[in-house]
């Protein structure tokens, strides 16, 4: 997505920071980073835990959100990972996932979506980590692209880019 935006939409701001493991600090960093952005024209895209975060940002700003196999209950799902962890994108990098982070995630859990029409969820039934039925239920009322098969990483993401770009008003 970064390459597509850089090539075809160089006037857009693309920001994809490495977030800290603390959900509270991560969302503080994002809030600070987007504080001066035009919320009516911005959008967030997030995958897995990033989808959970994108929903949190979208609910606070009213912006559009694209969610890729979004985590629905990360407090529940991540509590078994308390301790030293390897980075997903860089296994040579490690961090410590603290028990307080589970509480921070619980505090961030949304009770519902104010504007489900501002969401697109791309959900793979073949997601090996998250239950597609939970994602579909959580984002009921949103535009959902439900994929037969697939995987958690959405390895075929480039096939879904036209849908994502159209939803964002860029196609």
What is the per-residue pLDDT across 107-150, written as a single tens digit (0 to 9) for each? 999 989 999 999 999 999 999 999 999 999 999 999 999 999 99
What is the per-residue pLDDT across 28-66, written as a single tens digit (0 to 9) for each? 999 999 999 998 899 999 999 999 999 999 999 999 999
Fold of 2-7+19-73+113-167: Rossmann fold (3.40.50)
Between CA 108 and CA 54 the distance in angstroms is 11
Percent of the chain with pLDDT over 70: 99
Do you know the residue count of the chain? 171
Q: How many CA atoms lie less than 13 Å away from 72 in the CB half-sphere? A: 16
49's tokens: 């835990």
């Amino acid at each position: 997505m970064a390459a597509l935006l850089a090539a075809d939409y160089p006037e857009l701001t693309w920001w994809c920071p490495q977030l800290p493991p603390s959900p509270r600090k991560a969302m503080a960093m994002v809030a600070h980073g987007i504080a001066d952005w035009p919320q009516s024209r911005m959008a967030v895209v997030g995958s897995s835990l990033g989808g959970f975060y994108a929903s949190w940002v979208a609910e606070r700003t009213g912006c559009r959100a694209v969610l890729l196999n979004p985590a629905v209950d990360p407090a529940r799902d991540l509590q078994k990972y308390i301790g030293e962890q390897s980075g997903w994108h860089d296994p040579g990098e490690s961090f410590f996932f603290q028990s307080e982070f589970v509480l921070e995630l619980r505090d961030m859990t949304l009770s519902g979506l104010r504007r489900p029409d501002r969401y697109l969820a791309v959900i793979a039934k073949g997601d090996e980590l998250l239950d597609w039925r939970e994602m579909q239920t959580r984002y009921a009322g949103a535009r959902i692209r439900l994929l037969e098969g697939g995987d958690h990483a959405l390895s075929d993401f480039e096939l879904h880019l036209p849908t994502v770009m159209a939803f964002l008003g860029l196609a």
